[in-house]
Structure 1
Amino acid sequence: MTFRQFAFNNVIRNKRLYAAYFLTSLFTVMVFFTFSIFAFHPVLSGENMNGYVSIGMNVASGIIYVFSFFFVLYSMSSFLQSRKKEFGLLMIQGMSMKQIRLMVFLENMFIGFFATLGGIVGGLVFAKGILLIAENVLIIDDELPFYFPNQAILLTFGSFIVLFFLISLFVSYILRSRKLINLIKGDKQSKGEPKANLFLTLSAVLLLGTGYTIALLVEGLEVVAALLPVVLLVIIGTYLLFTQLSVFVIRRLKKQEQFFWHKTNMILLSDLSFRMKDNARTFFLVAIISTVAFCAIGSLYGFQSYLTAGTKEQTPYTITYTDAENGGEANASLIEETLEAEQLEADGERIELRYYEKSDQSLVLIAKQSDYNRFAALLSQETIHVSDGSPVLIRTGLILFEDEHAGSSEAEVLENAALELKGGSKLEPNQLVESDVLPGSAGNYYYVVSDHDFENLPVPSSEQSYYAWQERNGESISVEASEKLDQEVTGGFITNVSYQEYILNKIYGPILFVGLFIGIVFFVSAGSFLYFRLYSDVDEDKRKFQAITKMGLTEKELKKVLNRQTLILFFAPILVALIHGAVALTALSHLFFYNLFIESVTVLSLFTAIQIVYFFIVRFYYTKQVKAALQ
């Protein structure tokens, strides 16, 4: 048997440990290859797309490639840590450290070569389906036909062969200084009782508490200013949480004799403090990576929801037209003809929007009650009654972060809403109404007065004709008709809510598509880190439970201990990441003054469900391995 065959067979014999490393590497290659297919696709890289989709895919590929380097490097280092005793035995048999380094180099190159080929083949198999999904997500006008991606194959194969080659060299290099005695002893060397520093433990609580408090209390643009300090506080606090606070809590539980001696708690807690201390860096890395995945996808999804909601609130009608150059009647007729051609049943209204100059020289819209109620009826909203001398203040649309009155009570808003027009007229509203009936003016506010008071107002500074149509059955104009209207209507401003959403999704689709893929890669990689750490200790667990079983541990108790231990080790970093993600998404909602609760719950629940499925799969095989060693 040649040395190459020996290295290859060594990979096959360790397939249980290498499986997750191989499959995750294959998945990473496949995702990178998928983005390369998009980047080089003739349609996406053509002039009609302006290159922004192709650029986005290339950027995403670069991010995944850089992350893949560190992921594969960490995975190999973690895997080699569990093979120290094996290397020591090989050295006793006469293998030199140089030969061990060569063996590790060849093993990693074998896995890298087949993971790269597997990722490319998998990408080709699913390419057509992914392209069909992308047609809908990216919202492009042309189809994305399948093509044989020669450039993508060459780029992917070359990039990842170089990546695995460099990592193989690096991993081989770090093995050079291993001593035989350390390799033979391996995990038998005493680690000592894990202890926590009280100052660092309290620092963990203080840092996380401070970071969370700041993130939850700041609003508006203060969120952006607090971003960097909060991130630093939470990252340092998370590291101390796993290295100090977790050990402190376990030691305190061990001192509670009634709890410690209850059934199998002694076995669980005695080993858990060592496991938490040994895996602290892994848990910290998994928590941060998972938090990045949660925040990236949650932010993208939430921002899309925010923009869509803002579009709907600011444009509640099926279609509106604001005349700017006295061509309103002709354009209004064209819009009505289009609605008839689309066989849409729509009711329409017209109003002359009058803007008055305030004492500070800014303009404000003032409408009369009858006009407001006509448009309110068009939207099937409540009409209002305005008494003479008692105007109503209307707050319109989505409350943006630059609104100085956002978050203020109705009394506070009305207190500052007294209006003095140029010329001496004064308006003092005594009622605040949330409404999107009329487009309003700067500051998201306008005034409605009684018809009698409206006639006594001074001459307005400017006027605009405003037309609105509302479809009775909630249907919308087709994209083709909307594009035609957008081209033919001149001398004014036309808004079509369905077309605006279409344009928004067309622009935002590639960003969401790229962010979703990158988030999934990060999350899958985080789960793989946990898999590596769990299985790197499986041999030690086998010996430990063999000894405990001889002392009378039943199979039911063994299963209970394994389930609880695996559950804690698997979900401790995920739970921390979920809390981090929830706080971060709450802070994002404060930035825009828009409730992202549904979006946050959707994203966090989806990832939690994926992790639960992953946990059950890993736990099944892990428990099976331990039980097999006891028979």
Structure 2
Amino acid sequence: MTLWQFAKHNVLRDTETYIAYWLSSVFTVTIFFIFAVNADHPELDQDGSSIQLFMGMASVIVLVFAVMFLSLSIYSFVYRRRRTFGTLRAMGMSRRQLRRMLLAENSLIGASAIVVGMLVGTAFGHLSVLIMARIVRLSNITWKTPLAPIRDTAIGFAVVFMLVTLLLVRGLSRRPILELLSSPGHEAKGVRFSGPLAVVGAVVLLLGYALTFYPRYAGSAPALIDHVLEKTLNYVLIGCFMVGTFLILSQFAFLAITGIQKHSRRYLRGGNALWVSGLLYRLKSGVTSMFISTMLLTAAFCAVTASISLTMSVRTDVADSTPFAATYYAFGDSDREAGDLALIERELDGNGIDHQQYTLDFILLGEGDDVGLVDTKFVSEEEYGRVTGEHPDLAAGQALDISGASETTGSTVGVDGVGELEVVGAGTRLLDNPRNIDCYVVADQTLQEISQQPHTTSMRAHLFDFDDAQYDSGARAFSTTVRNTIGVGMADGENFLFIPRIDEIDADEFSHQIFTYVGVLFSAVFMAASASLIYFRLVSSVRDNLPITRNLHRMGMSLREILRVQRRQLLVLFTVPVLLAVVNTGFAMNYLVMARIASRLLYGRFLIILIPLLALQAGYFAFLSSRFSAKVRIFLKDPQ
């Protein structure tokens, strides 16, 4: 038997261990290939959309992830086979032959994964191109033979498999035979149970959860803490989540189980002592893989939930930041204002758009090229009431904040020559971002006093209100015609600005759909990797427990009781990473809401998206449980 035949025999004989690793490798190759196909198609990068650059970066990220995932997987397989390698060395196999055998095994797995992954990727590659074409609004797109993606995928993953295998195998082959023959330790060999560390883990994780609320209350903490968190909050959150999760799995879980053993009255009832005591070792031997699975699932859940939720809320979010479907701003004296407004009215009517128009005269504290962007703006109480129907009844020296700020009551606005204006409340926002910043309603008399001060400019805001969802195609035609006719305004040195909301909606939908596309594929890669690690952990646990299972069966324990003990232990090992990932994801989504990156609708969408994700996990566990139960039945030679 040649070395390659021996390696092939080893792989085929232990397909139960390698199958999940091989499938996840195939899936990773497929996702990389799909990204490469999108990056290689020239028609997807029209009009400077940077699709090729974005997909190329995504491909690199997948390749980097593949290096880490393959390193962990190959190390786990090699580490568990130390006794086998020690036996082969004791029988006369040289270190060089051992390295060549392991290289041959992983070459077979890697080559087959690359070939199958590219075949699957070729089958679905053009479908992904069609999806991307729809996102960038291309009606027709041609088929392109993916020669460059095939080359890049084959070379990239061949190098990854070879390098990872060589680096790990080289260290293994240098170990003494006696060390290889020694009983293999568990993954968390260096971890010792510590009550204080368990408490620290719980505190750190809870601190991370609490800090997700911080953006809502920023400024209420001491100045030093506010300054530090403002700069480092994202890193602090990631650190708390990772450190807390690891300590929960490696320390707090054992504190909870030992507490149950010592204090629970149900511990000695119904066979609970048997499965709980066995669970301690299984948890201890799976700390590292459970932690990595938890973080992979957290990343997957966050990616798919955030990307899909933000895409679903684009129109709502844009409507919040841009209250009117179209706005035309004229600064100071404008010779073209009347003609531009006539064009806008004509195009709205020509596209059959039923609309209402409002005009507001603002006074701005400032002048120059950037006027209207960040200057303080004032509008009269009368004009504000005509548009909104609200009549705040302001006295002289009072102001109503209409910038959209959550809490401004009690603050003041300083105006040279007029004095301090007291902000007495918040009203309806009228202007788009960033022109809504520092925008106030004042009494008519106060506005007249402000207009008489030096360094002020007038701004007329013409607001056009219509449903751009109802008139979707008409709104785009209207926006395109007006922009092509009058230009973009202030960016070209003009004293006007035209803001159609549909353009912002299209831009946000484009970017969010791209992120959703990439996010869903990334989450699929992460979940596949997590599934592979969980499978390897559980199949190793079942194998290690088979001798104990046989002894219990010989001592009179029925097969039904044995399977019940195993199912409970596997359920805990499987469920703990999933539950921690769900909780971590929930607080990560809470951070997006508190930081005003997403609206509160994200909470409901998170729960909706979570249902199929959890159903997928439940189905996977049911499959594993059935498979492992069958394995135990065969091992015990049960006729069922």
TM-score by length of 1: 0.85
Deviation at 1:555, TM superposition (A): 3.6
Looking at structure 1, the residues matched to 505 and 30 of structure 2 have their Cα atoms a distance apart, in angstroms, of 32
Contact 2:361 2:379 survives alignment (8 Å): no
Contact 1:351 1:465 survives alignment (8 Å): yes
1:254 aligns with 2:258: no
* Greater mean alpha carbon deviation, residues 541-550 or residues 465-474: 465-474
Contact 1:223 1:590 survives alignment (8 Å): no
1:83 aligns with 2:81: yes
Once the two structures are superposed, residues 205-264 of structure 1 have per-residue CA deviations (whole angstroms, 9 ceiling, x without a partner) of: 333233333343354584543332343344333322222222222222222362221212
SS across alignment from 1:443: coil
CA pair 188-590 structure 1, distance change in 2 beyond 3 A: closer
SS across alignment from 2:173: coil
Q: Which amino acid aligns with 2:3?
A: F
Q: Which residue of 1 aligns with 2:463?
A: 468
Q: How many residues were matched structurally?
A: 605
Q: Which residue of 1 aligns with 2:103?
A: 105
Deviation at 1:569, TM superposition (A): 0.7
Q: Which residue of 2 aligns with 1:330?
A: 339
Q: What pairs with 1:482-493 in structure 2 (closer than 5 Å)?
A: 482-490=479-487, 491=489, 492-493=496-497
Contact 1:392 1:433 survives alignment (8 Å): no
Contact 2:328 2:499 survives alignment (8 Å): yes
Deviation at 1:111, TM superposition (A): 0.8
Deviation at 1:116, TM superposition (A): 0.3
CA pair 513-224 structure 1, distance change in 2 beyond 3 A: farther
Q: Which residue of 1 aligns with 2:164?
A: 167
Higher RCO (CA-CA < 8 Å; seq separation 6+): 1
CA pair 362-115 structure 1, distance change in 2 beyond 3 A: closer
Q: Which residue of 1 aligns with 2:492?
A: none
CA pair 320-264 structure 1, distance change in 2 beyond 3 A: same
1:372 aligns with 2:384: yes
Alignment partner for residue 232 of structure 1, among 232, 235, 239?
A: 239
Contact 1:352 1:465 survives alignment (8 Å): yes
1:416 aligns with 2:411: yes
Deviation at 1:187, TM superposition (A): 5.5
CA pair 236-323 structure 1, distance change in 2 beyond 3 A: same
Q: Which amino acid aligns with 1:15?
A: T
Deviation at 1:121, TM superposition (A): 0.6
Looking at structure 1, the residues matched to 230 and 420 of structure 2 have their Cα atoms a distance apart, in angstroms, of 37
* Greater mean alpha carbon deviation, residues 245-254 or residues 591-600: 591-600
Q: What pairs with 1:86-485 in structure 2 (closer than 5 Å)?
A: 86-87=84-85, 90=88, 95-96=93-94, 98-137=96-135, 139-141=136-138, 143-178=140-175, 186=183, 196-219=193-216, 220=218, 222-256=229-263, 258-298=265-305, 300=307, 309-324=316-331, 325-355=334-364, 363-369=376-382, 371-376=383-388, 383-387=389-393, 389=395, 393-396=399-402, 399=405, 406=406, 408=407, 413-417=408-412, 421-424=415-418, 428=422, 430-436=424-430, 443-449=437-443, 459=452, 461-471=456-466, 474-476=470-472, 477-485=474-482
Once the two structures are superposed, residues 373-415 of structure 1 have per-residue CA deviations (whole angstroms, 9 ceiling, x without a partner) of: 4423xxxxxx22344737985444654xxxxxx4x4xxxx332
Contact 1:36 1:61 survives alignment (8 Å): yes
Deviation at 1:308, TM superposition (A): 5.2
Looking at structure 1, the residues matched to 414 and 89 of structure 2 have their Cα atoms a distance apart, in angstroms, of 92
Looking at structure 1, the residues matched to 446 and 161 of structure 2 have their Cα atoms a distance apart, in angstroms, of 79
Unaligned ranges ≥5, structure 2: 219-225, 368-373, 490-495
Q: What pairs with 1:451-600 in structure 2 (closer than 5 Å)?
A: 459=452, 461-471=456-466, 474-476=470-472, 477-490=474-487, 491=489, 492-592=496-596, 594-595=599-600, 596-600=602-606
Once the two structures are superposed, residues 3-25 of structure 1 have per-residue CA deviations (whole angstroms, 9 ceiling, x without a partner) of: 32232132222221111111100
* Greater mean alpha carbon deviation, residues 29-38 or residues 547-556: 547-556
Contact 1:372 1:437 survives alignment (8 Å): no
Looking at structure 2, the residues matched to 475 and 547 of structure 1 have their Cα atoms a distance apart, in angstroms, of 74
Q: Which residue of 1 aligns with 2:370?
A: none
* Greater mean alpha carbon deviation, residues 433-442 or residues 309-318: 433-442
Q: Which residue of 1 aligns with 2:28?
A: 28
CA pair 243-456 structure 1, distance change in 2 beyond 3 A: closer
Deviation at 1:513, TM superposition (A): 2.9
Looking at structure 2, the residues matched to 362 and 478 of structure 1 have their Cα atoms a distance apart, in angstroms, of 30
CA pair 398-288 structure 1, distance change in 2 beyond 3 A: farther
CA pair 386-243 structure 1, distance change in 2 beyond 3 A: closer
Looking at structure 1, the residues matched to 518 and 259 of structure 2 have their Cα atoms a distance apart, in angstroms, of 45
Contact 1:392 1:430 survives alignment (8 Å): yes
SS across alignment from 1:260: coil
CA pair 334-256 structure 1, distance change in 2 beyond 3 A: same
Contact 2:402 2:426 survives alignment (8 Å): no
SS across alignment from 2:427: strand
Q: Which residue of 2 aligns with 1:16?
A: 16
SS across alignment from 1:350: strand
Contact 1:314 1:396 survives alignment (8 Å): no
Looking at structure 2, the residues matched to 437 and 161 of structure 1 have their Cα atoms a distance apart, in angstroms, of 56
SS across alignment from 1:592: coil
Q: What pairs with 1:55-74 in structure 2 (closer than 5 Å)?
A: 55-74=53-72
Deviation at 1:131, TM superposition (A): 1.3
Once the two structures are superposed, residues 140-197 of structure 1 have per-residue CA deviations (whole angstroms, 9 ceiling, x without a partner) of: 44644321011110111011111112223233323314555565564599x9999622
SS across alignment from 1:467: strand
Looking at structure 1, the residues matched to 545 and 56 of structure 2 have their Cα atoms a distance apart, in angstroms, of 44
Contact 1:302 1:600 survives alignment (8 Å): yes
Deviation at 1:604, TM superposition (A): 4.7
Looking at structure 2, the residues matched to 342 and 434 of structure 1 have their Cα atoms a distance apart, in angstroms, of 29
Looking at structure 2, the residues matched to 235 and 427 of structure 1 have their Cα atoms a distance apart, in angstroms, of 48
Looking at structure 2, the residues matched to 15 and 248 of structure 1 have their Cα atoms a distance apart, in angstroms, of 37
Looking at structure 2, the residues matched to 193 and 365 of structure 1 have their Cα atoms a distance apart, in angstroms, of 66
Q: Which residue of 2 aligns with 1:380?
A: none
CA pair 283-8 structure 1, distance change in 2 beyond 3 A: same
Deviation at 1:90, TM superposition (A): 4.8
Looking at structure 1, the residues matched to 320 and 532 of structure 2 have their Cα atoms a distance apart, in angstroms, of 43
CA RMSD of aligned residues (A): 3.4
CA pair 85-202 structure 1, distance change in 2 beyond 3 A: same
Deviation at 1:586, TM superposition (A): 2.1
Q: Which amino acid aligns with 1:312?
A: A
Deviation at 1:32, TM superposition (A): 0.8
Deviation at 1:124, TM superposition (A): 0.5
Q: Which amino acid aligns with 1:536?
A: S
Contact 1:365 1:441 survives alignment (8 Å): no
SS across alignment from 2:357: strand
Q: Which residue of 1 aligns with 2:4?
A: 4
* Greater mean alpha carbon deviation, residues 615-624 or residues 389-398: 389-398
CA pair 623-182 structure 1, distance change in 2 beyond 3 A: farther
CA pair 554-194 structure 1, distance change in 2 beyond 3 A: farther
Contact 2:37 2:129 survives alignment (8 Å): no
Q: Which residue of 1 aligns with 2:618?
A: 612
Contact 2:418 2:449 survives alignment (8 Å): no
Contact 1:36 1:57 survives alignment (8 Å): yes
Deviation at 1:274, TM superposition (A): 0.8
Looking at structure 2, the residues matched to 30 and 64 of structure 1 have their Cα atoms a distance apart, in angstroms, of 10
TM-score by length of 2: 0.84
